[in-house]
């Protein structure tokens, strides 16, 4: 029988695992915060489409390196494609006579399909592509860690500063615009924040856990309820815990890291729904 690793062994190897845990925790924090807007704006598909676009960007960068002998950084590929898709979301869907949801669906399907197709042409990097799509990477490069830490910190400061405007413009864009709020600027900041963070985190952690961090902690926090500031903070904390604890769980139970982080994030939703079911007034009690 194979013995499972212990927490002591994890602690002993902390120098090895510190960076990926830190990266996942930081990404989980900011994606958890941003996820509240994504869920409340009913744009869960955004996270899925953007993470697929990031994966496509990385796949394209590898393809360019191998077949076109061009030295394109995978992070640059991810960021470029993510920004391109983010810009697509900023179009006014009414002008195009289609719903925003349809644009998201198109971006998701096209990016996902293309990533798989291009991945098929670069079998030399199949493992790398797999880690990007499903988050099987165990280690994080120092460059990726610093990128995540710096970006997450800057975005968190920016979003704390614009919380009221962002909430009002997300809640009722027309009324917010009438009041003089720069809706397009706030929308652009939100979409580019999601795009940038997803792109950078997808390269380091994988598309699946990044999508999970962007949706599941917010769902759990909203299910418990309470006031908006409480929901934002709770969601950020649950995102952070999903990243960190997910890694520990993966180590302890020898699971793929991305899957483990996703499972932890999903558990928060299950627990929150259970709490909501057992204590219906929990939202009124929390965050007063």
Residue ranges that bind other proteins, judged by CB under 8 A: 40, 42, 94-95, 160-165, 167-168, 171-172, 174-179, 181, 222, 225-229, 231, 283-284
Residues in the chain: 288
Using the minimum distance from each CB to other proteins, give the nearer residue, 16 or 154: 154
Integer Cα distance of 182 and 165 in angstroms: 9
Integer Cα distance of 288 and 270 in angstroms: 23
Using the minimum distance from each CB to other proteins, give the nearer residue, 33 or 251: 33
Closest separation in Å from C-beta 58 to other proteins: 34
Integer Cα distance of 210 and 212 in angstroms: 5
- Residue spans of alpha helices (H) in the chain: 7-12, 14-40, 44-67, 74-90, 93-96, 100-121, 126-134, 142-161, 163-171, 173-178, 183-205, 207-224, 228-253, 257-278, 282-285
Closest separation in Å from C-beta 271 to other proteins: 18
Sign of the torsion formed by the C-alpha atoms of 93, 60, 150 and 50: positive
In contact, 234 and 28? CB cutoff 8 Å: no
Q: Which residues of 19-42 are buried (b: 16+ CB within 10 A; e: fewer)?
A: bbbbbbbbbbbbbbbbbbbbbebe
Closest separation in Å from C-beta 161 to other proteins: 6
In contact, 101 and 45? CB cutoff 8 Å: yes
Closest separation in Å from C-beta 48 to other proteins: 20
Using the minimum distance from each CB to other proteins, give the nearer residue, 116 or 188: 188
Closest separation in Å from C-beta 168 to other proteins: 5
Using the minimum distance from each CB to other proteins, give the nearer residue, 109 or 175: 175
Closest separation in Å from C-beta 43 to other proteins: 12
Closest separation in Å from C-beta 33 to other proteins: 11
Using the minimum distance from each CB to other proteins, give the nearer residue, 24 or 176: 176
Using the minimum distance from each CB to other proteins, give the nearer residue, 8 or 180: 180
Using the minimum distance from each CB to other proteins, give the nearer residue, 181 or 215: 181
């Amino acid at each position: 029988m194979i013995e499972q690793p212990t927490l002591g062994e994890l602690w002993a190897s902390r120098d090895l695992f510190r960076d990926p845990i830190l990266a996942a925790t930081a990404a989980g924090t900011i994606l958890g915060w941003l996820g509240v807007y994504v869920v409340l704006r009913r744009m869960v598909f955004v996270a899925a489409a953007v993470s697929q676009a990031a994966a496509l960007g990385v796949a394209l960068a590898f393809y360019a390196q191998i077949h076109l002998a061009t030295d394109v950084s995978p992070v640059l590929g991810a960021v470029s494609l993510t920004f391109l898709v983010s810009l697509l979301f900023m179009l006014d869907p009414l002008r195009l006579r289609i719903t925003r949801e349809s644009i998201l669906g198109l971006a998701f399907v096209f990016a996902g399909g293309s990533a798989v197709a291009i991945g098929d042409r670069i079998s030399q990097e199949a493992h790398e592509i797999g880690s990007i799509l499903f988050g099987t990477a165990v280690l994080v490069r120092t460059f990726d860690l610093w990128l995540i830490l710096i970006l997450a910190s800057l975005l968190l400061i920016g979003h704390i500063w614009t919380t009221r405007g962002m909430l009002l413009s997300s809640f009722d864009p027309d009324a917010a615009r009438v009041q003089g709020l720069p809706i397009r600027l706030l929308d652009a900041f939100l979409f580019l924040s999601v795009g940038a963070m997803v792109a950078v985190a997808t390269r380091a952690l994988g598309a699946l856990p990044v999508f999970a961090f962007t949706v599941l902690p917010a769902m759990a926090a909203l299910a418990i309820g309470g006031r908006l500031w409480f929901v934002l903070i709770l969601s950020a904390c649950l995102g952070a815990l999903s990243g960190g604890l997910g890694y520990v769980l993966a180590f302890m139970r020898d699971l793929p890291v991305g899957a483990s982080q996703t499972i932890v994030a999903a558990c928060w939703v299950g627990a929150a729904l259970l709490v909501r079911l057992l204590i219906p007034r929990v939202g009124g009690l929390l965050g007063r």
